[in-house]
Amino acid sequence: MRKIALYITVLLLPAPVWAGGLNVIGGRGGGADMSGAYNAISDDASLFYYNPSGLLQFKRPYSELIIEVLKLTFTIKDSSGRHTSKNDVVHLLPLGCYIHPLNDELVVGIGLYVPYGHGAVFKEKWPFAKSDTLISLTNISPAIGWQICDKLSLGLQLNIGIGQMKYQANIPEGWLLSIPTNTTAIGIGFGATIGTKYQITDELAWGLTYTTPTHVNLSARTHIALGALSFNKGADGDITFPAKIGSGIAYQLTEKWLLAFDANYYFYESAMKNIPLKFHGLPLTKNTVLKWKDNYSLHLGSRYLVNKDLSVSAGVGYQTASVPDDTISQLTPDVTGWDVATGIVYKKNNWKIDSHLIYAWGDREVKPKIGRIGAGHYSAQSLTLGLRAGYSF
């Protein structure tokens, strides 16, 4: 009987996934100040996300550390208008690097950053249970940059990805009078990024970057409470973070004023088709069908040099949702959203100090349909505060 109950529970168990809306996770640094319009600039630690060919801009050894505090709030109002859920999550996001020129043509470096991540925490509110989901990818990326000629540079990096997953929710999904489950998982995957920058004229630069998918094999542990019975089962799973292609231009309008524009495309449809989860000791695999769709983002930013030590930046970004109407839920909220950003950078001697602020928002209406569990109105807001310190040796 215990084994039969476990079989039934595992077959019902959904899988947590990462949601793509809002420009809240990704490269930061100077890219944060300009809302992500940074592919053709990439002159700080965020080059490991935007474009590794930016390594060639460093003529001296350089190190940098950025810490960001991200506060993310999702609100869901069901289609009947009778239920409203709201979460309030705070994340700490690291970004750092060490860069070392070998000669005028070759520069090496290593970066730490979080290219993907999302979480939603909802408190218990009758008749819905609390839920806590998180999935993220942290990359450690050794890279090399090569100055092919005066106008053209190339960067190549290996992405060693540490994937993490947390899923705490009831099944059937969300309802208070149902079966509590708690899953945690961690794994490692590998990918690569190649980027190039071409200095078309003294004022105009163009950048192009492609990042491969990162396939992470997960080792999981699931706790299931089924009335008086409880189970702790190990499981193996995998998840693929999508490929991304990005391109941007940067134009030096005047000696003090820089303008940039980026466009990115994320290949979710080929990566997020399903998530299999195979439980140890059970001859079955739970396969969650996702059918996610590709999405894109657009970014416009500007930087103004106040004097030789001080610059200010601002930008606006737009990103479409990737989770379709049929799979969106309290566990995977996702919206199409906007963001605005601003920042200030102060340089003195060998030091660079930065502070930036990003506000993002978006909403979405999912209409009721037979078999669709996530109908309702979704809205999201996020506020990110970042502090950076960089030093040239």
Q: Which amino acid is at 366?
A: V
Low-confidence ranges of the chain (pLDDT < 70): 1-30, 80-85, 126-128, 171-178, 227, 284
- Distance CA(325)–CA(338), nearest Å, equals 20
What global pTM score does this model have? 0.90
Alpha carbon of 91 to those of 48, 67, 73, 124, 139: distances in Å?
A: 21, 10, 11, 21, 17
Owner of token pair 């979710």: 268
Residue 340, classified by CB atoms within 10 Å of its CB into exposed (0-12), middle (13-18) or buried (19+), is middle
> What's residue 297's pLDDT?
92
> What's residue 197's pLDDT?
98
Q: Which CATH number is 248's domain given?
A: 2.40.160.60
Paired strand residues for 204: 251
Determine if residue 311 is left, alpha or beta; phi over 0 gives left, psi from -120 to 50 gives alpha, anything else beta.
beta
Closest CA to 57 of 49, 45, 65: 45
Residue 232, classified by CB atoms within 10 Å of its CB into exposed (0-12), middle (13-18) or buried (19+), is exposed
Residue 228 CA to its chain's centroid (Å): 39
Q: Which two tokens stand for residue 314?
A: 């601002």
Domain extent, residue 63, equals: 2-392
Would you tell me how many other CB atoms lie within 10 Å of the CB of residue 254? Answer: 10
CB-based contact 260:302 (threshold 8 Å): yes
CB-based contact 335:31 (threshold 8 Å): no
The conformation of residue 54, written as its DSSP 8-state character, comes to: G
Owner of token pair 């506060």: 71
CB-based contact 106:146 (threshold 8 Å): yes
- Distance CA(391)–CA(393), nearest Å, equals 6
Q: Which two tokens stand for residue 199?
A: 């200095």
Listed in sequence order, the DSSP H helices in the chain are: 2-12, 30-33, 47-50, 268-271
The conformation of residue 126, written as its DSSP 8-state character, comes to: T
Residue 89, classified by CB atoms within 10 Å of its CB into exposed (0-12), middle (13-18) or buried (19+), is middle
Alpha carbon of 107 to those of 15, 57, 112, 141: distances in Å?
A: 42, 9, 17, 14
CB-based contact 330:120 (threshold 8 Å): yes
Q: How many domains does the chain have?
A: 1
Q: Which two tokens stand for residue 92?
A: 């700490």
- Distance CA(307)–CA(12), nearest Å, equals 61
CA torsion sign, 319 to 356 to 97 to 140?
negative
Closest CA to 317 of 364, 362, 252: 362
- Distance CA(293)–CA(290), nearest Å, equals 9
